[in-house]
Structure 1
Amino acid sequence: MKVDMTHMMQSLPGKSTGTANAASDKSQADSFAKALEKAAEKQDSKELKAAAQQFESYFLHHMLKQMRSTVPKSDLMPTSFAEEIYQDMLDQEYSTLMAEGKGIGLADLIYKQLKETR
């Protein structure tokens, strides 16, 4: 099963325009695509579920990033570049933990849909 993530990447809201973030986004999408292809080749339900959770984590990370971008910045407490990087890494970890737990149900829906199409 060949997975093309380009249309998915373009349709996600808040797609980053920075070079580093764009490279990270592409890396995450490629990682998901490879995990999905590997699960499809082996026809392994556990790997398919892990790939679905990985995509949910990716989606949640973008959602958190967009939510955080709506909060007005204050001159009272300026943020440094290092703090922004740390915040992004923290959001990524939060999204991974949320997806590994109950999540928002996206991984379950993706898993069911992909399992039916095999």
Structure 2
Amino acid sequence: MKISSNQSLRLLQTKNDLQRSKREVNNFKQSLQKAEQVMQSEKERETKLREVSKKFSALFVGLMLKEMRKTIPKSGYLNGGLKEDIFRERLDQKYAQEISRSQQLDMAEVLYKQLNQKIE
């Protein structure tokens, strides 16, 4: 079977079209991978920002509780001392975590929104 010049030209064009299509598919795959990486980094950034907002909210509430506790007069019922101070401090930390976790103050969400606007 003899291949004419027209057939060989069409064969070369088809081969070139196939190679071009493969390059386009590879370029699209690379673009898709880059977009996925950007989306993943956005999700990681969002998660970290939410975590930091919650921690800051807990810290702020903890400081507020500590200052509030200073205004309460000490009673003579308990001996006081270092052990009681440590207990009250840890109790205040736990209260602060629970208060910031609850949606009553909603301070973590407000902080997140503010920080997210600054970053974007």
Q: 1:97 aligns to what?
A: 98
Aligned residues: 79
Aligned to 1:68: 69
Instruction: Give the ranges of 4+ consecutive aligned residues of structure 1 lying more than 2 Å apart after TM superposition.
Output: 40-43, 74-78
Residue 89 of structure 1 deviates from its aligned partner by 0.7
Q: Distance in 2 between matches of 1:84 and 1:100?
A: 24
Partners of 1:97 and 1:108 lie apart in 2 by 15
Alignment correspondent of 2:46 = 45
Amino acid at match of 1:60: V
| Structure with bigger RCO (C-alpha 8 Å, 6+ apart) | 2
Higher-helix-fraction structure: 2
The aligned residue for residue 32 of structure 1 is none
Unaligned regions of 5+ residues in structure 1, if any?
A: 1-39
CA distance in 2, matches of 1:85, 1:41: 40
Unaligned residue ranges in structure 2 (runs of 5+): 1-40
Bigger Rg over Cα? 2
Find out whether 1:56 has 2:60 as its counterpart. no
TM-score (norm 2): 0.58
Secondary structure of the 2:62 match is helix
Q: Which amino acid aligns with 1:51?
A: V
Q: Residues 103 and 79 (structure 1 numbering): CA distance in 2 closer, same or farther, change over 3 Å?
A: same
CA distance in 1, matches of 2:46, 2:104: 19
Could you report, residue by residue, the CA deviation over 1:6-26 in whole angstroms, capped at 9, with x for unpaired residues? Answer: xxxxxxxxxxxxxxxxxxxxx
Q: How high is the sequence identity, in percent, across the aligned residues?
A: 32
Structure 1, residues 32-54: CA drift from partner, whole Å, max 9, x if none?
xxxxxxxx998621211110010
Give secondary structure in 2 for the equivalent of 1:44.
helix
